[in-house]
Structure 1
Amino acid sequence: MLESELVEQIENYLNKYQIRYAKEVRMGIGVPDVSINIGASKSMPVITDFYLLSIVEYLNSKSSATVGEISDCFGFDKSKTTNYINQLQSEKVVIQNGDRIRIKRKVLGLNLGKTISIEAKLKDWKSGILQAERYLMFSDYSYLALPKDKIKNVNIEHLNKSGIGLLSVDMFGIEEIIKPSMSTECEYKQKYMLTSSIIKRYPHTIKRRKDNVFSKL
């Protein structure tokens, strides 16, 4: 089995259950093979830029601000700030009256649902765990996925200590071997960007499930 085939099996499972996902979203501190979102609204403003969210956060702390004030706060030139404001206006997040800009649509504090990241490896489970741990900065849960015949090589105690889940994958489907622990490091703006990327790139219908996403085939 090639790594691309391993990822394809995961995709097949997610498509079968109509679970929204995206492949290889670049998050700066890591690029998961597959990222999943369950529960976020498709109507949420799609923002995948950290600075855009930082400007929203700044405006949220004030009643309003000018382009100059935003530029001074972030060290941007005014043309760059204006471009950012235009992007936020296109998502109907801010409104501009004269030279004053204020929040129009709530972004911070939205229910982003559950985010799950998966790192697929053919056999190098140690490096896979290290990568999966980085994903906890922007995901609620993180998994290492391996071919079924390689699961026996994994140090289960090591995996349990890391809080990373383990998935066994073969041509017949996916089996959850170890449940992951919920991240205590997941940062809202990072999670927002990942969720936006999933909604933007793969607007699949969400299958709302009460049980764990990998608990049933």
Structure 2
Amino acid sequence: MFETELSLQMKFIELKEKNKKDNESILSEFNARFGNVDIVEVVISDDNLLNFNQANVLSNYQHARVLAYLHKKAARTYSYLKKSTDYTEKSLSDTLSKLIKAKIIEEISGKKYVIATEFQFPHLQFISYEAKLQKWKKAVLQATINKKFSSYSYVVLPYDLAFRLHRQELNCFETFNIGLIGVTDEEFFYFYNPPKKSVSVSINPSLITSIAKFQLETSTFQKPGLA
């Protein structure tokens, strides 16, 4: 049915695009920190989008990691951040300076930091897909990693293989909370839909960088005057 994984990916994207809503985007080979994800679907809210400078800063995992330890009200000290991140003083100071300049965080007193009053994280939901012709166990492993930033994570396979796995290996997908999709030349089928996973930006730099990278890749930014 499909000669290459790329042809499987492209067919699945083609089929998904047919019913895509205006607030949804579909990207291939999305550059997550731990490697490219075959396909991501992003459900977008226009509220609280990052501006270009903020997205550029937070696309750097080092900067996102510091932000992930901060809160709106509970201040975190410089020493706490240094211990939590294990960054050098120069590296941490440089990161804090860039976050402050981008109006993402504020220094409220001597070396104590909070998330800036006006800064809000964008409301984006990621759904990730890993496509394989045969190596479904590898796809499950990759899909499990994708859950770091995804509300739903699926494995996409040729229909016949997905049908067989649904009958013989469903417990594996249920255990790891990974969805199963089978694809033909004309349509795709959800053999298993996993429960939605709650994903928070708190201590989750993978999600923060994914939001920033998505906005940079699609040029989706906060409109001027709304910062």
| Shared fold, TM over 0.5 | yes
Residue 80 (structure 1) aligned with residue 91 (structure 2): yes
- Which protein is richer in strand relative to its size? 2
Corresponding residue for residue 36 of structure 1:
41
Say whether the 8 Å CA contact 2:122–2:211 is kept in structure 1: no
Q: Is the deviation greater in 188-197 or in 141-150? A: 188-197
- Give the alignment partner of residue 91 of structure 1, picking from 83, 102, 120: 102
- Give the alignment partner of residue 160 of structure 1, picking from 164, 169, 174: 174
Say whether the 8 Å CA contact 1:141–1:180 is kept in structure 2: yes
- Give the alignment partner of residue 27 of structure 1, picking from 30, 33, 40: 33
Percent identity over the alignment is 17
Residue 125 (structure 1) aligned with residue 136 (structure 2): yes
For residue 169 of structure 1, report the CA deviation from its aligned partner: 1.9
Tell me, in whole angstroms, the C-alpha distance in 1 between the residues paired with 2:139 and 2:106.
Answer: 44
Tell me, in whole angstroms, the C-alpha distance in 2 between the residues paired with 1:58 and 1:124.
Answer: 37
For residue 181 of structure 1, report the CA deviation from its aligned partner: 1.9
Corresponding residue for residue 59 of structure 2:
48
Corresponding residue for residue 207 of structure 2:
191
**RMSD after superposition:** 3.5
TM-score, normalised with respect to structure 1: 0.71
The gaps in structure 2 that reach 5 residues or longer are 222-227
The gaps in structure 1 that reach 5 residues or longer are 206-217
Corresponding residue for residue 209 of structure 1:
none
**Bigger relative contact order (CA 8 A; separation at least 6):** 1
Aligned length: 200
Equivalent position SS for 2:37: coil
Equivalent position SS for 1:25: strand
Q: 1:21 to 1:82 in 2, by over 3 A?
A: farther
* Aligned residue runs from structure 1 range 194-205, under 5 A: 194-203=210-219
Equivalent position SS for 2:181: strand
Q: What do residues 130-162 of structure 1 show as CA deviations (whole Å, max 9, x unaligned)?
A: 221222222111101012233233135232333
Q: 1:187 to 1:134 in 2, by over 3 A?
A: farther
Equivalent position SS for 1:118: strand
Q: One-letter code of the match for 1:6?
A: L
Q: One-letter code of the match for 1:118?
A: Y
Tell me, in whole angstroms, the C-alpha distance in 2 between the residues paired with 1:82 and 1:141.
Answer: 36
Corresponding residue for residue 116 of structure 1:
127
TM-score, normalised with respect to structure 2: 0.68
Q: 1:200 to 1:150 in 2, by over 3 A?
A: same
Q: One-letter code of the match for 2:31?
A: V
Say whether the 8 Å CA contact 2:103–2:119 is kept in structure 1: no
Corresponding residue for residue 178 of structure 1:
192
Tell me, in whole angstroms, the C-alpha distance in 1 between the residues paired with 2:68 and 2:32.
Answer: 22
Q: Is the deviation greater in 95-104 or in 140-149? A: 95-104
For residue 115 of structure 1, report the CA deviation from its aligned partner: 1.6
Tell me, in whole angstroms, the C-alpha distance in 2 between the residues paired with 1:123 and 1:197.
Answer: 30
Residue 104 (structure 1) aligned with residue 116 (structure 2): yes
Corresponding residue for residue 11 of structure 1:
13
Q: 1:203 to 1:175 in 2, by over 3 A?
A: farther
Equivalent position SS for 2:63: helix
